[in-house]
Structure 1
C-alpha cells in the first residue's frame, strides 16, 4: 500500500490520546507510516538508524514496499558511489557512529549482496575497530577523548551487534574477532553487574578517575533503564550470529538469562520499568515509568523467546509491557497518525551520574530512541500473535 493511502486510511480513526487505540493495521506499520509523515531527519546518527531499523522490521514483516523502500533509500543516501560514508571521520572514535553499520549490512545482505558501496562503507567501519582506543584490559572506550577508559552499556549495543554480524558474514573463522566481541561483554559484566539484583550499572571507568566511579569496581552508581535496554538487546542480537562452538557463546547466554531474570523482577505492577531501576529508587519522587526501555525489554524478551534463547515464561512479562505501551505511550493524533510518548531525552556519564541528574532530564516526544524499539517490539509481538 502506498504511504498516501496508508495515511488516508488512518484519517478515519477516532483520536484518543493516552487510551488504547483501535488499530486499523498492525501497530508496527502504523507507527512506521506515522513517522514517515513526520519527515524524520536522515543522517548517520544512531537515533536515525535505530528508527530506520524499526521501519525496516515493520516493512519486512508485513511486506510493505513503501516503508521498505524508504528505509533502503535512507541508508543508500548516506553513502557516496565509491562507498564512503558521507561526512564520516575515520579518525574520530565514538561507538555511537558504528550503529549505522547494522543498517548497511542488512540491506547489503537482504538485497542480494550486490551493492558494493554498502559493503565498502561497512568494511571501513569494521576496520576502524582495529585501531580503536581501548582500556588497558581491551575494552573499547565509549568515545575518544571525552570518555577515556570508560565503557558504557550503550556502547555495547552500538558496536557489538555490528562487529558480530560483520564477522559472521566476512570472517566466520576469525576466532580472534569472536573472542574480542565476547571480551567487551566480559568486561562490562565484571565491572557493572550487581549480583544481587542481576541488573547492571550504566557504565564504568577502568581508571576509576570519574567523579562517579566506585573506588573498587569503577562502576557508576545507578542502573539507568535505557542503558540496560541497549545491553539486553545487544545480547539477543549478538547471540543470533555468535558461533555456538566458541566458549564465549555459553558465557553470553548466561549473561542473557541472568539479566532476563533481573529485569523481570524489576518490572513494575503496571507492566513498565522505572527510569532509575536500582533500589530504593523505584517509586521515589521524581522517578517514573519510562517508555524507551520498556520497548527495548519487550523486544529482547520476545525475540529471545522466539529464537530459543529465553524461556517461554517471559512472554507473559513482555505481553504485560506491550499492553502498557499501547495504553500509555502510543498516542493517536487528530489526523489519525501515531505519536510516541514518554522517552527520556538522554542519559550520560559526563556529569555526576546522580539520581537527581537522571530524573532531571526532560522527556522527548517522537524520539527515535523509543519509537524505533517500539517498532522492534511490535513486530515481534505481531509475529508471536499470528504464528
Structure 2
C-alpha cells in the first residue's frame, strides 16, 4: 500500500547519525537507515525508472543548506543504480520556467549526474497529465507519472508560512510551471494550503522518503534562516510520519504543523507520534532544545477565527531590506497576486493586495525580505 494512503498500522521512522557530507559517511548512514525496511531492494527492482525528488527551492549553493545536499542525492542515486534502477532527478523550483540548468549547476546536481549517470529531467517539459482531487485539478510533471518509483529527498528546515517544511511539502515541487503560484493565490492561509500539499502528496505517492538533516535550517526558513548542524538522516516509507518525527526533533508539537493536522483529518499516513515506531526509540535525547523556530510561529498558530477578529492589530508583513536588496525583481515576477512593484530599484508591496504567502521571502536570492510586525505582533 502506498505510504500516502490511510494506514491503521503503526509507521516506522529510522534515524541514523551522520556527522558530515563525506560521501562514504552519508552512504553508510543511508544504508543503515534502510536496513530495517529491507534495504533499497525493498523499494527498487531491476529495470525500475526511479525519480529522485530533492528539495531544490532555488539556485543556492549546497553550503547554504537551502536545498537537499548533492552528496545525499548522490548516495541515494548510487544505491538505486546498484539495485538495477534507472535514476532520474528532478524538481520545479520557482523561476525555473526560464531555464533549469543554472539551478542544477549551482545546487551541485549537475555534478551528481556526471558521477552517477543519473538523468536530470526538466519538469517543465513534456505533456502533463491532469489529475483531479477534492475538486481541484493538478498537472503533475510527466516525469513523476512515468516513474515506477518516486523517492522523496526533503531537507530539515523551518518554514515561515507552514512552520515546517519536510517530506509532504517537498512533493509540491512536482507541479511544473506557474501552478504553484496559482495555488498560493487560491489558498493563502496555511490550513488551506496544507490541503493542497496533502492532495499533491497523495497524487504523487512517494514510496520512500529520506530526509537530509545532516545540516538543516533554523530561524526564518525555508531560505532566509541560518544553517544548523543536526547530524542526522531520517528515513521512512511514510512522509507524514517522517514529518511528525522531524518536527518533534526541531522542537515543535507536531500537532501544530498545518500539514500534519491536514493529514490527521484526512487519514493520510500516520500523524500521531505515539503510533510511530522510531529507531532509536528515545526521541527526547535527539531533540534539539535550542533550535530556533520562525519568529512568526506564535501568530501562525493562532486559530483562524481569533486571527480574523484581531487581524487589524496583529500582522506580519514582508518588506524589502534596502541594505540587501539588489533590485533583481525576481520577487515581483513571482508574486501570485501581483502586489509588488519596483520603485527606485526597491520592491514596494501593496498590502491591500498582498496575501502574505511569503513567496517573495522564499524566492529572494539575497535573503533581502524581512518580516515587519505590528506592535501587538511583537508582544506575542
Q: Taking structure 2 as the reference length, what is the TM-score of the superposition?
A: 0.27
Task: Give the helix-richer structure, 1 or 2.
Answer: 1
Task: Give the strand-richer structure, 1 or 2.
Answer: 2
